[in-house]
Amino acid sequence: MNLYRLDASIRGDQSVSRAVADTAEAAWARSHPDGTVTRLDLAATPVSTETWTAALAGAFTPPDQRTPEHADAVARAASLADDLLAADAYLFAVPLYNWGVSQHVKSWLDVLLTDPRLRPGEQPMRGRPAALVVTRGGGYGPGTPKEGWDHATPYYRRIFGDLFGLDLHVSEVELTLAESTPAMADLRDLARQLLDAGHASAGRHGELLARSVLTAAP
C-alpha cells in the first residue's frame, strides 16, 4: 500500500502541520507496517512558477514543436502526476500563509493540472481516501476578528474534494503561533487544547485512511 504525503510548511522541525501529519501517518502505518510512503516536501523541493508556465505552453504545443524548456516542464508535470496517481491514500499537510494558499502548494497544483490526466473533468483518483491537515497561526473561527479571512481551506476542499474527487477528511488547528507570540499569551491554554484536538482528529483520519485502503484492496 502506498501513502502519498505532501508537506508545505517552511518552518522545518518547528512546523505544526508536519507534527500533526506525523500523527496521521503513524496511525496509517500501524495498519500498513510494510507500506510505502511517497513524500513530496515543497519547502525543500519547490515547484517553480516558471515550470507551470512552460508546462502549460507545452501542453498545448505539438510534441515535435516543443522547446527543450517545454519538454522538460511537461515531463516534470507528468512525473508529479505519476506519483500522485500511484498512491492508494493521501495525506496533505498545508499551513495558512498570509490568509491564502501557500505559494508552494499553488505552484504544485498549477503544474499538476497541466497534465491531461488531471485536467478538470478527469477524476482518476475519485473515491480514494485523503486526510488534509490545515494549520493557522491565529484564530479564524466564528466571532473572531479574522473570521472569513481563511481563503485557503475552502480552496483545498474544492481542489482535493470536488475537483480530484477524493474522499476528503480535514483536521484543522488554530492559534499555532500563540506559544511564540507574546501578544497571544492569554490564548496559550486554548491553543494547546486545539493542538491536542488536531492530533486526535489526525489520528482518527489516519486510521480511516488505513481502513479505507484495506476495504478497497482486492
DSSP string, 70-109: HHHHHHHHHHHHHHHHT-SEEEEEEE-BTTB--HHHHHHH
Residue 203 lies in a domain: yes
pTM score of the predicted model: 0.94
- Say how far residue 88 (Cα) sits from the centre of its chain: 15
Type of residue at 126: R
Looking at residue 40, which CATH number applies to its domain? 3.40.50.360
Residue 111 lies in a domain: no
pLDDT of residue 140: 95
- Say how far residue 18 (Cα) sits from the centre of its chain: 11
pLDDT of residue 218: 47
Q: Tell me the residue range of the domain where 14 lies.
A: 2-47+87-100+127-216
Q: Is 155 helix (H, G, I), strand (E, B) or coil?
A: helix
Domain count, the chain: 1
- Say how far residue 45 (Cα) sits from the centre of its chain: 14
Type of residue at 148: G
Cite the beta strand spans of the chain per DSSP E: 2-7, 36-41, 89-95, 129-135, 167-173
pLDDT of residue 214: 64
Residue 179 lies in a domain: yes
Residue 22 lies in a domain: yes
**In this structure, are strands 89-95 and 36-41 parallel, antiparallel, or unpaired?**
unpaired
pLDDT of residue 194: 97
Residue 24 lies in a domain: yes
Bridge partners for 93 per DSSP = 7, 133
Type of residue at 44: A
C-alpha cell at 85: 496517481
Residue 165 lies in a domain: yes
Residue 202 lies in a domain: yes
Residue 63 lies in a domain: no
pLDDT of residue 168: 98
C-alpha cell at 113: 493540472
C-alpha cell at 164: 480530484
Low-confidence ranges of the chain (pLDDT < 50): 218
pLDDT of residue 215: 66
pLDDT of residue 212: 86
